Structure 1
């Protein structure tokens, strides 16, 4: 009888340890099951006029990748400064948003913004100039970078390698789920959204959670102003879902999540 009692005791202890370890493993995103990053590209007016007020309503923070030469940056510096003071990240999306115009289907790329015609030094200088502008706006030295069009090379050169020490990480465009220890901070995965419903985006979050991963949403237009657009209604539904699940899902800026990943990988 005593032996059986010990067997039950040991079995209970083993089960407790297993559950505790498993719970810890499934809550490895700042103590939560999953991390979600909301990113918005190209410094659109609608980001300031609609998206940031929505995020503020639910006390959620987003990352806004600004193009240094955009009139929506130059003419609205005070608004971007206010956004940064509220905890939103102003990320670097280069000065001129250069994309590789030599690729198929890139006829729309203007000559002055054709990455295939850039020198590496020009790309580096424009990125650094944009960082200087962003620092003048928000006074912050830590931020992340986003590759315009997901293009990472000039010829055979990965130009970001020459500026990576200036950033906490760089967001790419590959849509895959990655474990924390396997995240490449020089090409962070992201899921682009266009005509996507809240239900579809929620399923992507649930899949990330199931895999013990995280998800970065890549938005452009929200209710208009860009061909790649998600309706304001569906975007609001997504924010409502994230707010309801705030005890289980960590919603943070790209810079904060990148810094967390780097810390855990070291």
Structure 2
């Protein structure tokens, strides 16, 4: 009898954790999240108008020390009012200064020289600042450089109650509810990609009914950029295929996905 109860319990546990394919709004084949980091001028000059023209929504991850804040904060308020997410990218874009290509990290913003509590305070203060722009309390976080340790210790785990999700893992597609970790959502860095490459990625996601997240910085300017032509080619494809490719803010995509996963 005991063996039978254990077996039945095992079946219940397996059923509870079994993979379940996502079902996206309107029967769409994929959920596409476009995210733009660092609050760059090209995002206000080109990206927001291009998205609005096509009726697409995206997430903009703003460090509060961005030169476009406060100089162009009214434009960020307008972006939020148009339905775009203002995501959290901390106060000062602190990153680890260790490793190749990190020479630009200033000593006083080096995460290796800070404590988790310091960084957590910066991120929560950024939430307050962003709420003053958009009036919202639900948003997502992208840790700058995807670095999640300060002084060698994790600082993001304690912040989970304050965010719907994190973009915080290397490239990959999330194809079902069992696979999904809202606080380790993968992103593709698309620096230098062509329009054809980005379209191929979202179509790959559609074939798997997956969540796919693309991470941009500059568009036609600034650092880690893609060309405006490649970016517009992707947006044209998404707009033409809205019924198949649900393109929305990361917070909306993840609230939908978490509801399906019961989390």
Same fold (TM over 0.5): yes
How far does the alpha carbon of each residue in 1:170-201 deviate from its partner, in whole angstroms, 9 at most, with x for none? 11241011223111111111111111111001
1:147 aligns to what?
143
1:222 aligns to what?
219
The answer to whether 1:85 aligns with 2:81 is yes
Q: Match of 1:233, SS?
A: helix
The structural deviation recorded for 1:70 is 1.7
Which one has the bigger helix percentage?
A: 1
Structural RMSD (CA): 1.4
2:252 aligns to what?
256
TM-score, with normalisation over the residues of structure 1?
Answer: 0.87
The structural deviation recorded for 1:202 is 0.8
Q: Which runs of 4+ in 1 moved over 3 A?
A: none
How far does the alpha carbon of each residue in 1:132-171 deviate from its partner, in whole angstroms, 9 at most, with x for none? 0000011011110001111112245321111111111011
How many equivalent pairs are there?
241
Q: Match of 2:90, SS?
A: coil
CA distance in 1, matches of 2:73, 2:66: 11
CA distance in 2, matches of 1:71, 1:201: 28
CA distance in 2, matches of 1:118, 1:72: 26
Aligned CA distance change for structure 1 residues 148 and 47 (closer, same or farther; 3 Å): same
Greater relative contact order, per chain length (Cα 8 Å cut-off, separation 6+): 2
1:93-132 paired onto structure 2 within 5 Å: 93-132=89-128
Q: Match of 2:170, SS?
A: coil
How far does the alpha carbon of each residue in 1:25-81 deviate from its partner, in whole angstroms, 9 at most, with x for none? 877122211110110000001111110000000000110000012221111111110
TM-score, with normalisation over the residues of structure 2?
Answer: 0.88
Q: Match of 1:179, SS?
A: coil
Q: Which has the larger radius of gyration?
A: 1
Conserved in 1, the CA contact under 8 Å of 2:62 and 2:89? yes
Conserved in 2, the CA contact under 8 Å of 1:26 and 1:33? no
How far does the alpha carbon of each residue in 1:218-251 deviate from its partner, in whole angstroms, 9 at most, with x for none? 000001022x010001100100000111111100
- Point out where structure 2 has 5 or more consecutive residues left out of the alignment: 1-19
2:24 aligns to what?
29
Equivalent in 191, 199, 203 of residue 202 of structure 1: 199
The answer to whether 1:184 aligns with 2:212 is no
The answer to whether 1:212 aligns with 2:204 is no
Equivalent in 37, 61, 68 of residue 65 of structure 1: 61
CA distance in 1, matches of 2:182, 2:22: 21
CA distance in 1, matches of 2:110, 2:230: 34
The structural deviation recorded for 1:107 is 2.0
Aligned CA distance change for structure 1 residues 124 and 198 (closer, same or farther; 3 Å): same
- Point out where structure 1 has 5 or more consecutive residues left out of the alignment: 1-24
